[in-house]
Amino acid sequence: MRSKSHVVLASVNKANSELSSHQKKIFKVDDHIGVAIAGLTADGRVLSRYMRNECINYSYTYESPLPVGRLVVQLADKAQVCTQRSWKRPYGIGLLVGGLDESGAHLYYNCPSGNYFEYQAFAIGSRSQAAKTYLERKFETFMDSSRENLIKDALFALRETLQGEKLTSSICTIAVMGIGEAFHVLDQETVKTLISEFEIVGEEPPADAPDQGSVAEPAPADQGTPADQSASPMDI
């Protein structure tokens, strides 16, 4: 989800077993751009590398950050090529790209088809529908939300997808970027504190009235669904 000045990306990372590590789904592309993916994560790695390259090259030539709107178009054009060549296959991932440019904070969703859309808030992956329902209720307040409320709403949306399971800091990843704040993933301690602060564990999300505190629907790109092993590409 995003507000005027911040974008929050959140994802659920469930590991296959206790023994294995969680799969990484949120990537830093540049100080001002981050991406969260759902689908064939191998394809995700490749596209992240492409995006990072594009950002670096632009920075080198122009000493300025690549506007996220342009990166998204380049990504979409790259995906489109794969749909028109017989010897290629489409990239098996949906990307939620959050970033800053001159006109503020933006959130985009890129499809394997080569289409891209700008969103106030969105969720992708399996079980993303639950998160989307939550976001649909709250999104109107996101634009003017504060950074803290945006993150809070992201956590609430994540919780919706867990269907009763307990939301703990070990299964989710939250990343934030904003004007004057470089992209970074919040560490486990911070997330743990936030979760208990907002008393999310088993409690209702704040009321719908757009009072400043609760329903700042940040429009971060919500990963919504857990990092599902069997994540079918674009379960939307």
Partner 1 sequence: MNMVDSAPAMHNLIGSESDSQRTLYPYVTGTSVVGIKYKDGILLAADMGGSYGSTLRYKTVERLKSVGKHSIIGASGEISDFQEIMRYLDELILYDNMWDDGNSLGPKQVHNYLTQVMYNRRNKFNPLWNSLVLGGVKNGQKYLGTVSMIGVHYEDNHVATGFGNHLARPLLRDEWHENLTFEEGVKLLEKCMRVLLYRDRSAVNKLQIAKITEEGVTISEPYALKTFWNFAAFQNPTAGAEGSW
Binding site residues, partner 1, CB under 8 A = 60-64, 67, 69-70, 73, 101-103
- Rounded to the nearest whole angstrom, what is the least distance from the CB of residue 219 to partner 1 in the complex? 18
- Rounded to the nearest whole angstrom, what is the least distance from the CB of residue 108 to partner 1 in the complex? 12
Instruction: Give the integer Cα–Cα distance in Å for 74 and 88.
Output: 18
Residue closer to partner 1 by CB (options 102, 199) is 102
E strand or H helix at 21: none
Residue closer to partner 1 by CB (options 58, 183) is 58
Sheet holding 104-110, edge to edge: 26-30, 33-39, 93-101, 104-110, 116-118
Q: Taking the CB of residue 44, how many other CB atoms lie within 10 A of it?
A: 24
Residue closer to partner 1 by CB (options 71, 186) is 71
Q: Are strands 221-226 and 33-39 parallel, antiparallel or unpaired?
A: unpaired
Q: What share of the chain is helix, strand, coil (3-state, %, to 5)?
A: 35, 25, 40
- Rounded to the nearest whole angstrom, what is the least distance from the CB of residue 119 to partner 1 in the complex? 16
- Rounded to the nearest whole angstrom, what is the least distance from the CB of residue 99 to partner 1 in the complex? 12
Q: Are 107 and 2 in contact (CB under 8 A)?
A: yes
Reduced to 3 states (helix: H, G, I; strand: E, B; else coil), residue 9 is: strand
Amino acid at site 162: L
Residue closer to partner 1 by CB (options 118, 181) is 118
Residue closer to partner 1 by CB (options 59, 146) is 59
- Rounded to the nearest whole angstrom, what is the least distance from the CB of residue 102 to partner 1 in the complex? 6
